[in-house]
Amino acid sequence: MNQRRSATADTREKPAEHVLPRAGRMVLQLVAVLALVACGGTKQEKVWTRLPGESPASEVQDMTPTAMAPSGSDAVSPASPSSLAMPSGAGMPPLADRSKVISTTGTLVAAGIGFMIPEGWIPETPKTPMRLAEYRIPGPGGEAELSVFAFGPGQGGSPKANIERWVSQFQADSSTTASQPAEVAELETGGLRLYLVKTWGTYTPTAMGMGGGSTEPRPNYALFGTVVEGGPEGLLFIKVTGPKPTLDAQSKQLESFVRSVKLIKS
């Protein structure tokens, strides 16, 4: 791989590591302590604990491409590189195959991996060409945003590197809090390994990230991030950010969404 293709998702919105409950024969592991760089330039320890919720994943419907084909006006096409202005500069890894992306009010399929979409989540045309799919999630604190990324086998950086970067975008809302905790869990199910992270605080998207929006600090925001490993098109990154009251209210739906993961039959 040349340097341009091996660039990590650091130049945009990186994804996460260490994930969730149990399904079939899932393996749950706890990640102890990770040192993350705080905004002051010094390293502070962040304690990582497993994500609550260990009930087995519910059964999901057949997620073959035929069964999951979009229907009606619910389907939203992913943004093509030609339909949106590409960021300037080199070092951008290739994107996963957009032609196979399905984004509807009931189903998400990207990079050979499928999910069931909870009721009320609204598919959107991606704001930037770096996103394969995008959803708006309603809630009492205002709308949250779900973004989907994939860059092909061996691309996008490690799950750990992405989780560290995501969490580093959050700082404690209170100046008296030394560090911002993050909850992390890991799951193996159906031949896939998932890593999931949750944290909260003041969220500051990176200027060179894939957010496609303002980089102004956003107090009382939360993160629900997932990395899926083992798919046919490399790592799949899913990042949900939004007002903390909204993510709190959507907690069960978010966990149900991740537990519905399934490898798509070719």
Instruction: Find how far residue 45's CA is from the centre of its chain.
Output: 23
Q: What is the structure's pLDDT at 181? A: 82
Q: What is the mean pLDDT of residues 247-253?
A: 97
Give domain 3-75+93-263's CATH number out of 3.50.50.60, 3.40.1000.10, 2.50.20.10, 3.90.1570.10.
3.40.1000.10
Q: In what order do the strands lie in the sheet with 107-110?
A: 102-103, 107-110, 113-116, 262-263
* pLDDT tens per residue, range 25-79: 333 333 333 333 333 333 344 444 554 444 433 333 333 434 444 444 354 544 4
Q: What is the structure's pLDDT at 98? A: 74
Distance CA 221, CA 141 (A): 9
DSSP string, 16-76: ---B--B-SS-------EEEEE-TTSSEEEEEEEPPS--PBPPP----STTTT---GGG--
Q: Where are the domains of the chain?
A: 3-75+93-263
Can you list the alpha helix ranges (DSSP code H) found in the chain?
A: 3-6, 159-168, 244-249, 251-259
Mean per-residue pLDDT over the chain, rounded: 73
Q: What is the structure's pLDDT at 214? A: 74
Most confidently modeled range among 61-70, 95-104, 144-153, 203-212: 144-153
Q: Do 123 and 74 touch, CB atoms closer than 8 A?
A: yes
Give the 3-state secondary structure of residue 252: helix
Give the 3-state secondary structure of residue 231: coil
- Could you give phi then psi for residue 24, rounded to 5 degrees? 60, -115
